Amino acid sequence: MAVTADDLLRDETSVAPPTGYSRLLLQNRKIVLGAIIFLMILGTTLAGTLVFDAGLRRSGSITRKLPPGPGGLLGTTSLGQSVAAQMTEAVPNSIQVGLIAAVMGTVIGSALGFVSGYFGGWIDAVLRVLIDVFLAVPTLLFLVLIAALVRGVSVQHMALIIGLFAWSWPARAIRSQVLSLKTRPFVDVARISGMSGLEIIVRELMPQMLPWLGANFVNAFIVAILAEAGLSILGLGPQREMTLGMMIYWSLSYGAILQNMWWWWMTPVLTLMLLFLALYLIHLGLDEVSNPRLRTRA
């Protein structure tokens, strides 16, 4: 019977997921707290879709400039829109942008990083140059340029634009890890047992990197949400759809600060801060679980 890489004992320096990985996730206070905050935001928003009529998002659907209270809950805009009803659309759309961009960046970056690091040679040389070029590109400048050129950008288009520049850093980090992992004895055993290069990547190397990939995914999620908010505040977001960034943009455009309508701009700002806090705590927790040194300190 052929010997597989799983038969070989990993040494202590391996980055393989520790035994009882799921248990460690549930025991990490940062992950649990971050997940609770994130689920509370998402759950409250989804519950709001059942309470508020979508028509309250339209101009003139309710009394204008109402402060938060029984009549308007989170208040109304100077255009006669319910801020609470807008939030039921804005939060899912912002999360959708982050999710699509993070998945896109992680998948593309992982594929290029594994292929470049494992196969080496001219493949590594070409991909390394491509990765370095994208790392050197001023991302924000190109995001602004592309978003300005694309007419009638939607939430999905915005996510794709951000995802186009989200893969270079994970690709470089994964490549460096794979360069180290492929010299380990368990990879040599996998080659001897007749496994192909792609099989080794999928069956042996990828499981070793899953904890790190999870932390990187959450980090990319954070960056994508903040990038969408930044582009939307500049007026380059989806004009016909509501996101947290677009809520801030419209509130600034109609002078919410000058009119002391603090509820209009503060609601999306505080929600963004809570989303960032929740995802950052999850990122820190995943980092601790995947990194033995951080886990020991924690």
Rounded CA-CA distance 181/186 in Å is 9
Place of tokens 């099989």: 199
User: Per-block average pLDDT, block size 10, for the chain (298 residues)?
Assistant: 38 44 79 93 89 80 84 84 90 93 92 89 89 82 79 83 88 88 84 85 84 87 90 85 92 89 92 93 85 59
Q: Is residue 200 a contact partner of residue 118, using CB atoms and an 8 Å limit?
A: yes
Q: 0.85 cut: is pTM over it?
A: no
Read out DSSP for 12-53?
A: TT--PPPTTHHHHHHH-HHHHHHHHHHHHHHHHHHHHHHHS-
Write down the pLDDT at residue 3.
Answer: 38
Contacts of 133 (CB under 8 A, 6+ apart): none
> Is residue 49 a contact partner of residue 88, using CB atoms and an 8 Å limit?
yes
Q: Return the closest-CA partner of residue 94 out of 271, 225, 261.
A: 225
Q: What is the CATH number of domain 29-297?
A: 1.10.3720.10
Own/partner long-range contacts of 139-144 (Cβ < 8 Å, ≥24 apart): 139/165, 140/227, 140/230, 143/227, 143/231, 144/231, 144/234, 144/236
Domain boundaries, the chain: 29-297
